[in-house]
Amino acid sequence: MTPAHFTFSSAFLLGLTGLAFHRTHLLSALLCLEGMMLSLFIAMSLWTLQLDATAFSPSPMLLLAFSACEASAGLALLVATARTHGTDRLQSLNLLQC
């Protein structure tokens, strides 16, 4: 395992563990998701450069576009939740309540 591969794998796993264990606020969950997407983007970019394949070159940009869409949807949900519930704490949200 190369040091770059280890770095991006550990960054992804740190984001995943942060998402799994620190679920108090919606903003912290969104930041963990963004960290995971950023590590995937950098890893995919380096993978494309190491293989020297032009066929895979649009893949990191496509992932970055999906990541931007995910971030905007997450922020819209954060604003809507903060307006309706007054807080972004995940424990105050009840999925069974309309």
> Is the confidence at residue 13, as pLDDT, over 90?
yes
- What pLDDT band is residue 87 in, cutting at 50, 70 and 90? confident
Q: Is residue 62 included in any domain, yes or no?
A: yes
CB 33 within 8 Å of CB 12: no
Q: What DSSP element (H or E) covers 50?
A: helix 26-51
Instruction: Say what the alpha-carbon torsion angle 6, 11, 14, 15 is, to the nearest 10 degrees.
Output: -150
Q: Is residue 8 included in any domain, yes or no?
A: no
Q: Is residue 14 included in any domain, yes or no?
A: no
Which CATH number characterizes residue 78's domain? Answer: 1.10.287.3510
Range of the domain at 79: 26-87
Taking residues 64-76, what's their average pLDDT? 92
CB 78 within 8 Å of CB 88: yes
- What pLDDT band is residue 23 in, cutting at 50, 70 and 90? confident
Radius of gyration of the chain (CA): 17
Q: Is residue 32 included in any domain, yes or no?
A: yes
Q: Is residue 10 included in any domain, yes or no?
A: no
- Provide the pLDDT for residue 36: 93
Q: Is residue 30 included in any domain, yes or no?
A: yes
Instruction: Say what the alpha-carbon torsion angle 40, 41, 45, 47 is, to the nearest 10 degrees.
Output: 10
Q: Is residue 1 included in any domain, yes or no?
A: no
Q: Is residue 43 included in any domain, yes or no?
A: yes
Number of domains in the chain: 1
> Is the confidence at residue 1, as pLDDT, over 80?
no
